Structure 1
Amino acid sequence: MDASAGETTVPRSSRQQEAADLKATLKHLRTEPRGWVFSLKLTLCVVLTGAGVALALQPVLWCRIVGVALTGAMFAHAAELQHETLHNLAYRSRRANTVTGIVLGLPMLISFAAYRATHMRHHRDLGTPLNREFFDYGNQYGAKGDRSRLAVGLDWAVRFSMAHHYVFFIANLGRSLLGRDFADENALVSRRIRRDHFLAAAVIAGLGALTWWTGYAVIVWVWLLPLLLVAAPVHAVIELPEHYRCETLNRDPFANTRTIRSNRIAMWFTNGNNYHVEHHLMPNLPIERLPALHTEVRDRIRYFHSGYLDFFVKLLRK
């Protein structure tokens, strides 16, 4: 039975100790990041994105539609690959992770530095009232309450349009242009966040200049439509199950997070995000090792679904 955020109180220290003891028995799963594995995933993402862009620029309408859909899907996939770089799991080199992560975040206007700082705090604070996520949709975890249908509808509209994220980006770009630091971040992280926003603004300006020079709506077909119509809702769909209506005031990762045992295509597309309990249990474990961890702990997971379709069907029924 799902419990909404706020329904579970402070966890018992025995559960934290149990999780720590469990992780100690799973040390044999740890391996060093294998850069060649991530490079293969990155190459496939680049190739598919290029194919999507090529189709989106064709004069035939059906080609454009397919191209926009493929490009947008790859934007969302790139955000999942970026998540791996946040944890320095893509490559052994921290610099390689940073550079790759910055580039992967550009299509969806995701600052690598801001995302990383917020995401590390999310791992630290999940299970406490201090927990915040980088992609914050307001009623983030589906807390139940006396809310009107209009309010609930607005929640879903905000989530699947990711309107909050674009407003957040514009506000932070303005702050960057003014040279200001960011709340909760030190001077170094603030400088890196400004760097990411300047790079994203430069890419947008470059696409705008290419559009003006060619007289063709390049920026619309290869970025704006894929971002708004495909990448945003797809990203929201991937992210929604992670903690939605789990026990998010419980420090136990088996209670505050959800795992979805899906097919290989879904695991590739979400870059292992479906194994989210496992990721929160051992966040420094390389993504390709999560299925092995799942085999070890699957009987302990409270919030489990056999596939994304299973999750959303049960969610709609409620």
Structure 2
Amino acid sequence: MDLAADGAVESALPNPQEAAELRAALKHLRAQPRGWVFSCKFALCVLLTAVGVGVVLQPEWWCRVTGVVLIGCMFAHAAELQHETLHNLAYRSRRANAVAGIVLGLPMLISFAAYKAAHLRHHRDLGTSMNREFFDYGDQYGVEERSKFGTFVDWTVRFTMVHHYVLFVANLGRSLIVSDFGGESARVSRRIRRDHCLAFAMLLTLSVLSWSLESGVIVWVWLLPLALVAGPVHALIEVPEHYGCETLNRDPFANTRTIRSNRILTWFTNSNNFHVEHHLMPNLPLERLPDLHSEVRDRIRYFNRGYLEYFGKLLQRRSR
């Protein structure tokens, strides 16, 4: 089965009959992707990024700080929008989803093809020892006993996303020598090479632009936002999804967490805060996840009323 060619993979509940009955009861929520909705989200992301670029290029220090923060946040938001394209939920056309996904992944050096293949396997394997995530944070779900130093290293890796960038460099090298990727089909490998070559072209373009203008434009509009803001913000969004949940339990009500947040953060995470709901019905357009939440919220085992509540409780547990 070529996972990269599939729009989504249904999550498994412990009892197949229970799963079928639950999905049948919720089928009224199913809907076709509305491309105009995603286009509006995409356009707003581009607009806010452009505003950030305009602000960061001003000479005042506070403008540069503000611009770096805004650009970095939009890079992280673009990764959340890219997640929607992985499931072919942004547009009805697979090609349109792929084009949008490739563009959205460029700022954070995320290969659309590699992310899609790994992410759909994650949906299939969550709840088993085979589960792996595309963004590797080492001790992914906090299940191993660590010393204080080991814990510090783990969280440093998470918030700097250093593993992701090291992997990008390694995969770029493979792409430039036209090598296939282990565990992936020849077609997926070609697509992964395509994504890395496009990212490399983007980096070369920004570097040439900086050199020709004799300025540090690549530093201000990409490198600093990526390293100082996008990576940590992305980790803040991604870590709560399964961290501390029952990740060897096939039930999405047990292996995944939902965070009911305000409208701004729901927009910023592209409704990915309703993560139990997403794993329960991965074919459901993401803007319908709040509706699904209303139907199943009483069954969710891991639930927080906001990201501040979640990380506050996490810090309390870690400080004991």
Determine whether 1:255 maps to 2:254.
yes
1:93 counterpart residue number: 93
Deviations along 1:5-24, whole A, 9 cap, x unmatched? Answer: xxxxxxx9853432332111
User: Deviation per CA, 1:57-106, whole angstroms, max 9, x where unpaired?
Assistant: 11111101000000000000000000000000001111000000000000
Hey, what's the Cα distance between the residues in 1 that align with 2:50 and 2:14?
Answer: 51
Structure-to-structure mapping, 1:173-184, within 5 angstroms: 173-184=172-183
| Counterpart in the other structure of 1:201 | 200
Determine the structure 2 residue equivalent to 1:311.
Answer: 310
**Cα gap change, 1:14 to 1:114, in 2 (>3 Å):** closer
Aligned match of 2:37:
37
User: 1:136–1:59: structure 2 CA closer, same or farther, 3 Å change rule?
Assistant: same
Map of 1:126-165 to 2, 5 A cutoff?
126-145=126-145, 147-165=146-164
Report the residue type matching 1:93 in the other structure. S
Q: Deviations over 1:239-297 (max 9, x none)?
A: 01000010000000000000001110010000011000000000010011001100000
Deviation at 1:55, TM superposition (A): 0.8
AA aligned opposite 1:283: P
- Count the aligned residue pairs: 306
- The change in CA–CA distance for 1:252 and 1:229 in structure 2 (over 3 A counts) is same
Residue 289 (structure 2) aligns with:
290
Asked whether 1:279 is paired with 2:278, we answer yes
Question: Deviation of residue 178 (structure 1)?
Answer: 1.1
Contact 1:80–1:273 under 8 Å retained in 2: yes
Aligned residue in 2 for 1:224: 223
Q: Is the 8 A contact 2:14 2:250 kept in 1?
A: no
TM-score, normalised by the number of residues in structure 1: 0.95
Name the SS for the 1:106 alignment partner. Answer: helix
Q: Which amino acid aligns with 1:236?
A: A
> Which residue number in structure 2 is paired with residue 102 of structure 1?
102
Q: Distance in 1 between matches of 2:228 and 2:55?
A: 16
Q: Distance in 1 between matches of 2:226 and 2:137?
A: 18
Q: Can you give the 5+ residue segments of structure 2 that lack an aligned partner in the other structure?
A: 1-11
Change (3 A) 1:155 1:215: same
User: What's the Cα RMSD here?
Assistant: 1.0
CA distance in 1: counterparts of 2:200 and 2:316, whole angstroms = 42
Q: Which residue of 1 aligns with 2:75?
A: 75
The answer to which of 109-118 and 22-31 deviates more is 22-31
Of 76-85 and 136-145, more deviation after overlay is shown by: 136-145
Provide TM-score, normalisation by structure 2.
0.94
Deviation at 1:53, TM superposition (A): 0.6
Task: Give the conservation status (yes or no) of the 8 Å contact 1:127–1:256.
Answer: yes
Provide Cα deviations, 1:189-245, integer angstroms capped at 9, x if missing partner. 000000000000000000000000000101000000000000000000000100001
Letter in 2 for 1:21: E
* Contact residue 58 and residue 64 of structure 2 kept, 8 A: yes
In the alignment, which residue of structure 1 is the partner of 2:26?
26
- Say if 1:159 and 1:236, in contact at 8 Å, map to a contact too: yes
Task: For 1:243 and 1:308, locate their aligned partners in 2 and report how far apart those are by CA, in whole Å.
Answer: 14
Which residue matches 1:66?
66
2:228 is aligned with 1:241: no
Q: Percent identity of the aligned residues?
A: 71
Between the aligned partners of 1:134 and 1:311, the Cα distance in structure 2 is: 23
Q: What SS class does the counterpart of residue 259 from structure 1 fall into?
A: strand
8 A contact 1:250–1:256 mirrored in 2: yes
Runs of 4+ in 1 over 2 A off after TM superposition: 12-17
Residue pair 1:172, 1:197 contacting (<8 A) in 2 also:
yes
Aligned equivalent of 1:116: 116
**Distance of 1:247 and 1:16 partners within structure 2:** 19
Alpha-carbon shift at residue 173 of structure 1 (Å): 0.3
Question: 1:261, 1:275 within 8 Å by CA — same for their partners in 2?
Answer: yes
Q: Distance in 2 between matches of 1:163 and 1:14?
A: 35
Structure-2 change in CA distance of 1:231 and 1:25 (3 Å): same
The residue type paired with residue 116 of structure 2 is R
